[in-house]
């Protein structure tokens, strides 16, 4: 809903959509300086409350990895005006460019299914997590070229051997000017230089170690893990923003303890760290 509020001042009207009634109720309860917002429950394929060809742009932030394909693009094609656009963006796991070992350990904890580091990886919902980690490369708006290719594969040829041309209804709605851009933080440990495509966006924030722990605890995989491990409670940082290495704690405390063994700065829960996220952006226009 933050995306809706950010865009609303630039449009006559903005509609924020989420499948969760709870999220919609929360959004409605928060005061806004932009009165031109409506909130509705819905999904990418259940938007019948919006008139045909009434939308200038459909923007999805950290959501497109859940959209069914190609049905989403068929439904959106009906709603977007000719010349309008779709813009989907997402981001992968956070990285710590100044602390490459911390990035490596975080990744090992996030996707471990062996039990060596707590099995957090088994709690991710797939294929959604794979798609978002791939920065939405699997999210593919259908174009005239791809639709023709699919048609040739699923249809017999005409008697004279020519390809059959797809009609607009048969195509399910085609998109033009499909563009992709990605941003990747540099990682010396992997010999990976920073990559910043034209049109990409950078997502970064300076965070304390204690805040990084709380951010990771918002992961859906962590909630699944915590539900299965009710006896392992998170360890509180004391008032001096210091913590003692070891002792009780949950899987995130254990991960930070392991990072602190190789990155001593992380022993201080108040230590500030530059955090960056790899990002992906998919754009397309309606013909």
Q: What is the 3-state secondary structure (H, E, C) of 62-113?
A: CCHHHCCCCHHHHHHHHHEEEEEEEEEEEECCCECCCCHHHHHHHHHHHHCC
- Say what the pLDDT of residue 281 is: 96
Instruction: Specify the range with the lowest mean pLDDT, choosing from 25-29, 113-117, 276-280.
Output: 113-117
By the 8 A CB rule, do 69 and 49 touch?
no
Mean pLDDT of 255-269: 95
Preceding omega of 127 cis (within 30 degrees of 0): yes
- Token pair for 21: 């009634």
Name which residue leads in pLDDT, 118 or 125.
Answer: 125
Classify residue 46 by burial, with Cβ atoms within 10 Å: 0-12, 13-18, 19+: exposed
By the 8 A CB rule, do 86 and 58 touch?
yes
pLDDT in tens, 59-83: 999 999 999 999 999 999 999 999 9
Q: What pTM does this model have? A: 0.83
User: Pick from 23, 18, 86: which is nearest to 46 by CA?
Assistant: 18
By the 8 A CB rule, do 89 and 61 touch?
yes
């Amino acid at each position: 809903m933050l995306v809706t509020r950010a865009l609303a001042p630039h449009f006559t009207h903005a509609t924020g959509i989420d499948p969760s009634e709870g999220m919609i109720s929360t959004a409605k309860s928060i005061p806004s300086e932009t009165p031109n917002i409506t909130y509705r429950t819905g999904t990418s394929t259940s938007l019948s409350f919006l008139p045909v060809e009434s939308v200038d742009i459909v923007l999805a932030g950290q959501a497109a990895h859940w959209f069914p394909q190609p049905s989403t693009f068929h439904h959106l094609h009906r709603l977007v005006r000719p010349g309008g656009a779709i813009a989907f963006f997402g981001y992968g796991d956070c990285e710590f460019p100044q602390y490459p070992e911390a990035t490596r350990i975080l990744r090992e904890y996030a996707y471990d299914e062996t039990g060596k580091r707590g099995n957090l990886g088994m709690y991710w919902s797939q294929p959604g997590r794979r798609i978002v980690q791939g920065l939405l490369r699997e999210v593919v708006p259908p174009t005239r070229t791809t639709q023709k290719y699919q048609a040739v594969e699923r249809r017999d040829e005409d008697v004279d051997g020519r390809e059959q041309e797809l009609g607009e209804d048969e195509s399910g709605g085609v998109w033009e000017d499909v563009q992709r851009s990605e941003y990747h933080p540099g990682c010396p440990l992997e010999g990976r230089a920073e990559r910043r495509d034209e049109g990409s966006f950078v997502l970064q924030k300076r965070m304390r170690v204690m805040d990084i722990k709380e951010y990771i605890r918002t992961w859906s995989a962590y909630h699944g893990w915590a539900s299965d491990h009710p006896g392992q409670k998170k360890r509180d940082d004391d008032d001096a923003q210091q913590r003692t290495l070891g002792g009780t704690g949950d899987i995130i405390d254990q991960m930070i303890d392991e990072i602190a063994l190789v990155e001593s700065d992380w022993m201080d829960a108040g230590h500030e760290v530059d955090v960056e996220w790899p990002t992906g952006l998919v754009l397309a226009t309606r013909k």
